Amino acid sequence: MISGTLAFIARLISGATARWTAPLEPGRQRVFFANHTSHLDFIIIWSSLPPAMRAMTRPVAGSDYWGKGAMKRHLAKKVFNAILIERPSSGSGNAISAASQSIESIAAGMGDRHSIIVFPEGTRSLTGEVLPFKSGLFHLCRLKPDLELVPVYLANMNRILPKGEVLPVPLIGRVIIGAPMRFDPAEDKQAFLTRARGAMLALRDQ
Amino acid sequence: MDMSLKGLWLQMMPLGALIAGVVGLLLIASVIGGILAGTTKGEQGRATVANLNARIRAWWIMVAVFGVAMATGGVGSIVLFFLMSFLAMREFMTLTPTARTDHAALFWAFFLLAPLQYLLVWAGWYGMFSVLVPVYGFVAITSRMALSGETDRFLERTATVQWGVMACVYCVSHAPALLMLGPIPGYSGNGATLLFYLVLIAQLSDVMQYVWGKLVGKRPIAPTVSPNKTWGGFIGGTLTAIAVGTALYWATPFTPLAAAAMCLAITMLGFMGGLVMSAIKRDRGVKDYGSLIQGHGGVLDRIDSLLFAAPVFFHLIRFFYVP
């Protein structure tokens, strides 16, 4: 019930109605990957999904933000059923091993039935421009090559609640959910990330 | 006791009659829509009829909402118009190219200026009601945006935010402000009746311009702004609305001639409001401001004819009728 109410409030604040450009078959394991400009992003995507799909979809969130404080931790663990990961802080010596640990904990969190929501830019964009993708999406796909990859484009979220602001302004956001794409094991990392980012950007003009 | 009941009856009678008339009109429209749905051939004709019926269904809902708001007296109407202002401004600001740094000014517009303006309507404080947005809002929004330090397109950004507050909040709030006008000598009705009359004539003119436009409309008035607004639709629609408004003069403090003049003002300003909002939509490259009301687009698409008509109607009555 809490999750239904939260989903309703999130849709109310963002005014967002999801546009599905292609039908998604039920029961598949997939990765929703979206652009990231606002703390609202994953809640908005999560609330746009039909309730049955929403129940099977876990957002991936940084434990540095969502693991702090009893309230946030409760929301992340019990309501959103989030997979909390350590974000590798840039510059630290063991960033690479932390990153690969994160990918493994995401894969473990998915099991063989959960889908996830990720933001492959790794951080919130200040300008609203879509940043280059970090390689996490590629490494996850190498670990689980059968996943369906669904690009999601979020418009206006950076105006509703920009990075650094606490109070939202009630403008109308948009959620555009694209056609699923597949991982191709023959493709190299850069080509794959460019293709995935291109699929997301193509939704911008839909 | 007897006297006050009679007074209440006299006060509510014109409003009740107007509402009954609108419900009757909608019944006729629904029947015509049903017949057209069964008889119209061709893909384009069917699409037009489907859109017409969606509009009629939405009208039932809008009339029901408006009726409930009126039935709860002043507060209900004020709350309803506040919500419409809020949703209209949401649609407007979404299309406005503001910068990241304008967040605080936008927050003030939505959560300070809009509620304050309607609180003043509710409190009946005319002096502050008429200056809050043009004086204090003007100063506050410009100053806040300067403080945030972003100078790129500064005048364009401040001007559009202010324009949004003026149009969506200040102008629209003059419709429920009719409730706070003092008693009009020799008129037993009340502000609620005048509010209903204004909305009825403005919306009827809109609807009849659409109907006449579909029937006889050929030459567009301003083809670069809105190809759907034709001379045929404009003349037919406004004349129909003026005729109905004049026939309803008994519900107002106006003589038949004054009622015709008032309706002329409402329909002309209603047309201009729609035209101006269309020009903005055209510039921003969208067809509708939103998609909240089935067949009608957004809230702002539905109330654009009230933007200019409401404040002028309010001030005409205040000038000529309120001592």
Q: What is the DSSP string of B145-178?
A: HHHTT--TTHHHHHHHHHHHHIIIIIIHHTTGGG
Token look-up 């809230």 returns B299
Is B90 in contact with A167 (Cβ distance < 8 A)? no
H/E run at residue A33: strand A30-34
The CB density around residue B186, as the number of other CB atoms within 10 Å, is 7
Distance from CA of A156 to the nearest CA of B (A): 8
Once rounded to an integer, what is the mean pLDDT over residues B309-323? 95
Taking the C-alpha atoms of residue A122 and residue A136, their distance in angstroms, rounded to an integer, is: 9
List the single residue in B with minimal CA-CA distance to A128: B100
Is B103 in contact with A171 (Cβ distance < 8 A)? no
Q: What is the pLDDT of residue A3?
A: 76
Is B91 in contact with A156 (Cβ distance < 8 A)? no
Is B94 in contact with A171 (Cβ distance < 8 A)? yes
Question: Which of B41-50, B77-86, B125-134, B210-219 is predicted least confidently?
Answer: B41-50
Once rounded to an integer, what is the mean pLDDT over residues A15-42? 87
- The burial class, CB within 10 Å (0-12 / 13-18 / 19+), for B226 is middle
Give, as one character, the DSSP assignment of residue A92. -
Q: Of A13-17, B9-13, B208-212, B309-313, which one has max mean pLDDT?
A: B309-313
Once rounded to an integer, what is the mean pLDDT over residues B11-15? 73
Is B110 in contact with A169 (Cβ distance < 8 A)? yes
Distance from CA of A128 to the nearest CA of B (A): 10
Is B94 in contact with A17 (Cβ distance < 8 A)? no
Structure tokens at A101: 């640990």
* Interface-testing mutation among B82, B94, B102, with chain A (most A C-beta atoms within 10 A): B94
Q: Are A131 and A74 within 8 A, CB to CB? A: no
Q: For residue B109, what pLDDT band results from cuts at 50, 70 and 90? A: very high
Residue B87 has pLDDT above 70, yes or no: yes
Selecting from B100, B110, B291 the residue whose C-beta is nearest the C-beta of A170 gives: B110
Q: What is the pLDDT of residue B45?
A: 83
Is residue A69 within 8 angstroms of chain B, CB to CB?
no
Q: What is the pLDDT of residue A140?
A: 92
Chain A residues near residue B290 by CB distance under 8 angstroms: 172
Tell me what the pLDDT averaged over chain B comes to: 89
Is residue A126 within 8 angstroms of chain B, CB to CB?
yes
Tell me what the pLDDT averaged over chain A comes to: 86
Is residue A158 within 8 angstroms of chain B, CB to CB?
yes
Q: What is the pLDDT of residue B317?
A: 96
Q: What is the pLDDT of residue B247?
A: 94
Q: For residue B1, what pLDDT band results from cuts at 50, 70 and 90? A: very low
Q: What is the pLDDT of residue B11?
A: 66
List the single residue in A with minimal CA-CA distance to B298: A172
Question: Which of A46-50, A129-133, B4-8 is predicted least confidently?
Answer: B4-8
Residue B237 has pLDDT above 50, yes or no: yes
- The burial class, CB within 10 Å (0-12 / 13-18 / 19+), for A1 is exposed
Distance from CA of A48 to the nearest CA of B (A): 17
Once rounded to an integer, what is the mean pLDDT over residues A41-49? 89
Dump pLDDT digits (tens) for A167-177: 999 998 889 99
Q: What is the pLDDT of residue B7?
A: 65
Once rounded to an integer, what is the mean pLDDT over residues A132-138? 91
Selecting from B86, B94, B110 the residue whose C-beta is nearest the C-beta of A172 gives: B94
For this complex, say whether ipTM is above 0.90: no
Q: What is the pLDDT of residue A94?
A: 55
Residue A96 has pLDDT above 80, yes or no: no
Q: What is the pLDDT of residue B294?
A: 66
Is B103 in contact with A15 (Cβ distance < 8 A)? no
Taking the C-alpha atoms of residue B151 and residue B157, their distance in angstroms, rounded to an integer, is: 9
Q: For residue B192, what pLDDT band results from cuts at 50, 70 and 90? A: confident
Residue A50 has pLDDT above 80, yes or no: yes
Once rounded to an integer, what is the mean pLDDT over residues B5-30? 80
Question: Which of A55-69, B22-36, B265-279 is predicted least confidently?
Answer: A55-69
Is residue A156 within 8 angstroms of chain B, CB to CB?
yes
Q: Are B230 and B238 within 8 A, CB to CB? A: no
Q: What is the pLDDT of residue B124?
A: 92
Residue A88 has pLDDT above 70, yes or no: no
Rounded to 10°, the helix B256-284/B74-95 angle is 30
Structure tokens at B8: 């209440």
Once rounded to an integer, what is the mean pLDDT over residues B168-172? 97
Is B94 in contact with A156 (Cβ distance < 8 A)? yes
Residue B5 has pLDDT above 70, yes or no: no
Residue A14 has pLDDT above 90, yes or no: no
* 3-state SS, residue A151: strand
Dump pLDDT digits (tens) for B129-169: 999 999 999 999 999 999 998 898 999 999 999 999 999 99
From residue A142, give the alpha-carbon distance in Å to each of A34, A101, A116, A197, B76. 19, 14, 16, 17, 59
Q: For residue B66, what pLDDT band results from cuts at 50, 70 and 90? A: confident
Selecting from A126, A156, A169 the residue whose C-beta is nearest the C-beta of B103 gives: A169
Percentage of chain A exceeding pLDDT 90? 31
Chain B residues near residue A162 by CB distance under 8 angstroms: 100, 103
Q: For residue A77, what pLDDT band results from cuts at 50, 70 and 90? A: confident
Q: For residue B96, what pLDDT band results from cuts at 50, 70 and 90? A: confident
Chain A residues near residue B100 by CB distance under 8 angstroms: 126-127, 158-159, 162
Once rounded to an integer, what is the mean pLDDT over residues B185-205? 88
Once rounded to an integer, what is the mean pLDDT over residues A23-28? 84
B250 or B70, which is more confident = B250
Residue B37 has pLDDT above 90, yes or no: no
Is B103 in contact with A165 (Cβ distance < 8 A)? yes
Residue A37 has pLDDT above 50, yes or no: yes
Chain A residues near residue B93 by CB distance under 8 angstroms: 169, 171
